[in-house]
Amino acid sequence: MSSPASNLRIDSDRLWSTLTETAAFGATAKGGLCRLALSEEDAQVRRWFVAACEAAGCTVRADELGSLYARREGTDPTLAPIAIGSHLDTQPTGGRFDGILGVLAGLELIRTLNDAGLVTRHPIEIVDWTNEEGARFAPAMLASGVFAGAFDADYARTRTDRDGVSFADALNAIGFAGPAPARGAPPAAYFELHIEQGPVLEDAGVEIGVVTGVQGVRWLDVTVSGQACHAGTTPMALRRDPLQGAARLAAVVDTIGRSEPGVSLSTVGVFEAFPGSRNTVPETVRMTVDLRHPGPGGLDRLEGALRVNAAAIASDLGLDIDIAEVWTSPPVVFDPACVGAVHQTVARLGFTHQDIISGAGHDAVYVSRVAPAAMIFTPCEGGISHNEAENMTPAQAAAGADVLLHAVLAFDALS
């Protein structure tokens, strides 16, 4: 393919300087960011973003949950926009790239098109989704979830932070509530550039991850019940010790995670014995199980194996084992046309690449429910993220932004 646009590249220095400049908003002493959703620091970066997008010729609107949409018109007013999004909020001890790269690469894309005098057929909208992290208001990906119909707007507005401040009050305090409904019209396509937040791409020495989907997650609460008794007077043969059952089950969880190497994951993150006394056999043990699998039916298979083993352990040790589902996020398979646009692009631009399944949740998970979507990953140093030490090189950021630019242009040309 050769067109006036095919040799176009984003301005790496300009992209890096926007990443550096905006990292002043919520900067921490250790070089990271604390920019909780709807905080004053979030307001500062939002004001910067709105001004920069308007200076680049975009019109910017906020929806009722404060998500920002910076729009550059296309040549065909009948077409829905191609949306490019991520988030500008961070974890309390977050890094300078998680989410931010995806939004600022969108701005850089528009500046690059402006410089080249190129206008796409579709309008382009850069989206900053409110409260992606979930660090201040749970759950995560709240505004993109409302956009896709997973939650309603009132549910989002009534979430409260640790101090009891509601999402609605925090949003009003920074003045970023707009009139438009948060459940918006679906875009023609959605592309999200993000750091990988894991070590796979860096380990493999590749420049770009073509994200084909997002793995499913299931959270279970497990309660193992036995009988409390005196540690010094109860013969071993007469005990119904829930901790011994829970320990066996925890080992099973690890085995289940290893059952499909490179595919399945399972974790016990919380393990608590009650009443918690050194000379008493516990009455109950509670543990959490986090299961991850990218394929259809995978989470059910892992949970099924857990339940079969739990039943055997319960009967062996005379215990009751209750397993309750807390939350499931089904696996996501991204749109073949959008993933195809990314594949074509990395090959044509000559970047080393591999397919990858996202281990973390992103706004694209929800947006993919209402629009064709895909993601692009870049490596980050040591795979470290949700950490003030999060880092990447200017070349890695530029590679991701160039792939984003050309994937958008490829989709614009075809659809």
Shortest distance in whole angstroms from residue 57 CB to Zn ion: 27
Count residues near Zn ion (CB under 5 A).
2
Closest by CA to 184, choosing from 360, 55, 361, 363, is: 363
Interface stretch with Zn ion, choices 14-22, 28-36, 95-103, 232-240 (CB under 5 A): 95-103
Shortest distance in whole angstroms from residue 195 CB to Zn ion: 8
Q: Which is nearer to Zn ion, 99 or 282 (CB)?
A: 99
Q: Which is nearer to Zn ion, 314 or 401 (CB)?
A: 401
Shortest distance in whole angstroms from residue 18 CB to Zn ion: 17
* Side-chain-side CA neighbours of residue 300 (13 Å): 4
Q: Does 95 bind Zn ion (CB under 5 A)?
A: no
Q: Which is nearer to Zn ion, 286 or 386 (CB)?
A: 386
Q: Does 128 bind Zn ion (CB under 5 A)?
A: no
Determine contact, residues 96/390, Cβ cutoff 8 Å: yes
Q: Which is nearer to Zn ion, 194 or 343 (CB)?
A: 194
User: Residues 98, 196, 241, 412: which binds Zn ion (CB under 5 A)?
Assistant: 98
Q: Which is nearer to Zn ion, 99 or 400 (CB)?
A: 99
Shortest distance in whole angstroms from residue 381 CB to Zn ion: 16
Closest by CA to 67, choosing from 103, 94, 96, is: 103
Phi, psi angles (nearest 5°) of residue 54: -65, -40
Can you point out the beta strands (E) in 255-294? 265-274, 280-281, 284-293
Shortest distance in whole angstroms from residue 29 CB to Zn ion: 22
Q: Does 89 bind Zn ion (CB under 5 A)?
A: no
Shortest distance in whole angstroms from residue 272 CB to Zn ion: 30
User: Got the DSSP string for 208-229?
Assistant: EEEEEEE-EEEEEEEEEE---E
Alpha helices in 4-132 (DSSP H): 12-22, 40-55, 100-116
Q: How far, in Å, CA of 309 to CA of 234, rounded?
A: 27
Q: How far, in Å, CA of 337 to CA of 355, rounded?
A: 15
Return the bridge partners of 211, or none.
356, 375
Interface stretch with Zn ion, choices 26-34, 97-105, 168-176, 376-384 (CB under 5 A): 97-105
Shortest distance in whole angstroms from residue 101 CB to Zn ion: 9
Shortest distance in whole angstroms from residue 134 CB to Zn ion: 10
Q: How far, in Å, CA of 127 to CA of 143, rounded?
A: 11
Q: Which is nearer to Zn ion, 69 or 129 (CB)?
A: 129
Q: Which is nearer to Zn ion, 301 or 386 (CB)?
A: 386
Residue sitting closest to Zn ion (CB): 99
Q: Tokens 């509670």 identify what position?
A: 286
Interface stretch with Zn ion, choices 31-39, 92-100, 255-263, 394-402 (CB under 5 A): 92-100
Determine contact, residues 68/50, Cβ cutoff 8 Å: yes
Q: Does 400 bind Zn ion (CB under 5 A)?
A: no
Q: Does 102 bind Zn ion (CB under 5 A)?
A: no
Q: Indicate the DSSP class of residue 207.
A: S
Amino acid letter at 255?
T
> Who contacts 300 (Cβ-Cβ below 8 Å, separation ≥6)?
none
Closest by CA to 11, choosing from 105, 101, 96, 82, is: 105
Q: Does 283 bind Zn ion (CB under 5 A)?
A: no
Q: Does 99 bind Zn ion (CB under 5 A)?
A: yes
* Binding stretches for Zn ion (CB under 5 A): 98-99
